[in-house]
Structure 1
Amino acid sequence: MKKRLFLALLSGMLLIFVSACGSEAGTSNIKLAEVTRSIFYAPQYVAIEKGFFEEEGINIELQTAWGGDKTMTALLSDGADIALVGSETSIYVHAQGSKDTVINFAQLTQTDGTFLVAKEPKPDFKWTDLKGSIFLGQRIGGMPQMVGEYVLKQHNINPHADLDLIQNVDFGNIPGAFASGDAEYVQLFEPTASKFEKEGKGHIIASFGEESGHVPYTTFMTKESFLNDDPQTAKRFTKAVYKAQNWVQKNSAQDIADVIQPYFEDTKKDMLAASIERYKKQESFATDPILDKEEWNNLKNIMNEAGELPEDVPYGDLVNTQIAEEVIGN
């Protein structure tokens, strides 16, 4: 009897010891590079602040690269393990003959995140009102610019012939250039669009996200070698993202604003909530991490319309859905 009790206690102690060692060994430090700091990426900040990454044994080191080219440079040079950036960048890298293919494995946003802002109120706005106007656009080759041109063409507007199109302003300087310049219209992300409206510097009159449909606008991607060498970390990372996506869907814009406030200290909480609500309303936040084939084809159509598709890359070459499917299935 005493021997059996002793063995049972010993087995329990060994189980606790092994579990503790396994948890410690399973902890991964991930360098995550985001292309910019944006309310558009609210589920990512929720995953960090609500401890969903930590629950999966992942320590996140978040860095903001401020640009798609810089984000991809960080990823390809091992300055980052995972990047949050537009899916179009994986196509650009592939076209340049990268030896270590960049793979999209978890989607975060599924619409464009910009809004059409006008200097003057336009209560009866029609897209044809843009013809002949001065339009401050986004960086050539980036998703905002390509989606913008795609939407304009859907409304029979040739952006390069029917507009006085300005595209030589850096991303970070676009709001200031619009406020102080002659442009009549501009594409802006939140919360800048709502800030401009509140301050009387502009008026939100349309959404490019609503007009363009679903597209893999921002995804988590990594090098193929990372997925091959450490598939379990990629899976745990995706699981944390999926937890955050579910949490965002179930909670109010105000609750989300409360959680992500530390990432936007210069933005008042009511403005944060209003911006989040706008994105929730137009279904910008992906409800799961799967990037489907229809979205990928829509991305390529948009790039092709803008003359920026370097080659027709098949869906299966740059997209891995197996990880996300396993996470959702479990």
Structure 2
Amino acid sequence: MFKTKPFLALLLLVIMSLVGGFVFMLNSKDRDKKETITLTIWEGEKSILHLPLYVALQEGYFKEQGINVKLVARSGNTGNNPYTDRITDLILTDPVECLYRKSINPGSPLIITTIASRDGTFLLGRKKEVFSWEKLNGKNIIAYPPETGPGLALDQKLRAENMAPMLDVNLYIRIPRDLRLSAFKSGSGSYIQLAGPEAVKAEQNGTGYISACLGEETRVFPSVLCAAWPETIDRHPGAVQGFVNAIYKAQLWMREEPELGARAVKNHFHNLDKKISNQLLEKYSKINMWQPGPWVDNATFNKIEQTMEVAGQLAVPVTYGYAVDNSFARRAAQIIKYIPKEEREKSWFRKIFD
């Protein structure tokens, strides 16, 4: 009888502790919900180059960081401009647009991380051949305008091969976007520069043959950057850090577990043929499109800035320290480490004894 009372007291204490812990956990969840910040992200249009963003959404990496993410796409309204209307907190952009905006407006967004590290376009030729860049000398290419990322990547590569755009190589850069492929089919141009899905599909349809991958040829070229308004950084530095952490985690996990990217493509690109997406993912993975290197280094930035200056695309020169804030990306690289799948799948009980 005397032993029963201490046992009951101990049992009651355990029950009270469990209830108290449960109540505390519920209150903590409520507090977390109140403190959760939603960041709006301009992505313009869906692109397979944005894949780390979709993987982070799919796998819950943003929620792990205590933030919500809302994607904003381009609408039919031509006045819908993220740089002038300030309709989002963060902007997915190419380096040309970002640097140009910074050159005309000092208060424009700062580059905080890299989403895709290579150019994603391909050169499609009319015949299957062993390609070399010298073959472009004197040829006509249906290319992207120089004020776009893909246009700058091609410009940069041609100059590296000692060919002057519009002098040694003729570039058709003003053909409307929806007429480019039709123009090539009708006989214009010896080559055409196409986005990844378009190029792979065109080759499968017999329109031409992929001659070169710009991302492989130009090496590091951050085709998709994420830029944040200075006010967003000032107001929500923790949320911005959480966003960059989630993107970096997605890049790390994608490198080790390619199935994550394939699943995200399936979930976000319903109209993309599986054969095309698989081939494209294989090509992009081969050139380290989403390499886990989230910051923009000084040398890469200067090369892009100098190419834009030569092409007359900057109102005034833009310096590295003026346009880039690498603090969030470098912090993410310090704190986010890949955990092997088998390690993650261990039960808490095994972890204790291991």
TM-score with structure 1 length normalisation?
0.89
Contact kept? 2:100, 2:313, Cα under 8 Å: no
Q: Distance in 1 between matches of 2:16 and 2:278?
A: 57
1:115 aligns with 2:122: yes
CA distance in 1, matches of 2:177, 2:50: 17
Deviations along 1:253-290, one digit per CA (max 9) or x if unpaired, are x5522322132222211210110111111112131322
Matches of 2:23 and 2:260, distance apart in 1:
42
Q: Which residue of 2 aligns with 1:61?
A: 70
Percent identical across equivalent pairs?
Answer: 26
Q: Which moved more, 1:285-294 or 1:142-151?
A: 285-294
After superposing the two structures, state which structure 1 stretch, 143-152 or 254-263, moved more. Answer: 254-263
Contact 2:83–2:108 (8 Å) recurs in 1: no
Cα offsets for 1:130-179 (capped at 9, x unmatched):
22222111023111111111111222222211233211123454334323
Matches within 5 A, 1:80-229: 80-98=88-106, 100-121=107-128, 123-229=129-235
**Residue 214 of structure 1, CA deviation:** 1.0
Distance 1:31 1:270 in 2: 32
Q: Give the drift of 1:319.
A: 1.0
1:307 CA displacement: 3.0
Q: Give 1:22's aligned residue.
A: 31
Post-superposition offset of 1:196: 0.9
Amino acid at match of 2:163: I
Answer whether contact 1:39 1:275 (CA < 8 A) is retained.
Answer: no
Task: Select which of 245, 248, 257 maps to 1:251.
Answer: 257
Q: Please say if residues 114 and 208 of structure 1, whose CA atoms lie closer than 8 Å, have aligned partners that are also in contact.
A: yes
User: What is the rounded CA distance, in whole Å, between the counterparts of 1:201 and 1:89 in structure 2?
Assistant: 31
Note the C-alpha offset of 1:248. Answer: 1.1
Q: 1:7 to 1:265 in 2, by over 3 A?
A: closer
Are positions 1:285 and 2:290 aligned together? yes
Determine the structure 1 residue equivalent to 2:55: 46
Is the 2:255–2:291 Cα contact (8 Å) retained in structure 1?
A: no
Q: Which amino acid aligns with 2:72?
A: Q
The answer to whether the Cα contact below 8 Å between 2:83 and 2:101 also exists between their aligned partners in 1 is no
Counterpart contact for 2:121–2:193, Cα < 8 Å: yes
The 2-side partners of 1:66 and 1:149 are apart by: 30
1:62 is paired with a residue of what secondary structure? strand
Unaligned runs of 5+ in 2: 1-5, 336-354
Q: Which secondary structure state, in structure 1, belongs to the residue aligned with residue 115 of structure 2?
A: strand
Alpha carbons 2:65, 2:242 under 8 Å: kept? yes
Matched residue pairs, number?
325
* Superposed displacement of residue 198, structure 1: 0.8
Specify whether residues 38 and 175 from structure 1 end up closer, same or farther in structure 2 by C-alpha distance, changes over 3 A only.
Answer: farther
Displacement of 1:184: 1.5
When residues 245 and 255 of structure 1 are mapped into structure 2, their CA distance, relative to the original with a 3 A threshold, is: closer
- Structure 2 SS opposite 1:299: helix
Task: Please say if residues 75 and 222 of structure 1, whose CA atoms lie closer than 8 Å, have aligned partners that are also in contact.
Answer: no
Distance 2:242 2:289 in 1: 23
Q: Aligned AA for 1:270?
A: K
Q: Which amino acid aligns with 1:39?
A: I
Kept in 2, the 8 Å contact 1:139–1:168? The answer is yes
C-alpha contact 2:165 2:171 (8 A) present in aligned 1: yes
In the other structure, the counterpart of 2:340 is none
Structure 2: how far apart are the matches of 1:324 and 1:244?
A: 13
Quote the offset at 1:85 in angstroms. Answer: 0.8
- How far apart, in 2, do the equivalents of 1:151 and 1:49 lie? 35
**Contact residue 146 and residue 155 of structure 2 kept, 8 A:** no
Q: What's the C-alpha RMSD, in Å, of the aligned pairs?
A: 2.6
- For 1:187, the aligned partner's letter is Q
Counterpart of 1:74 in structure 2 is 82
Q: What TM-score results when the alignment is normalised by the length of structure 2? A: 0.83
Partner of 1:318: 323
SS of 1:12's equivalent in the other structure is helix
Whole-Å separation in 2 of the counterparts to 1:10 and 1:77:
50
Give the Å deviation of 1:11. Answer: 5.3
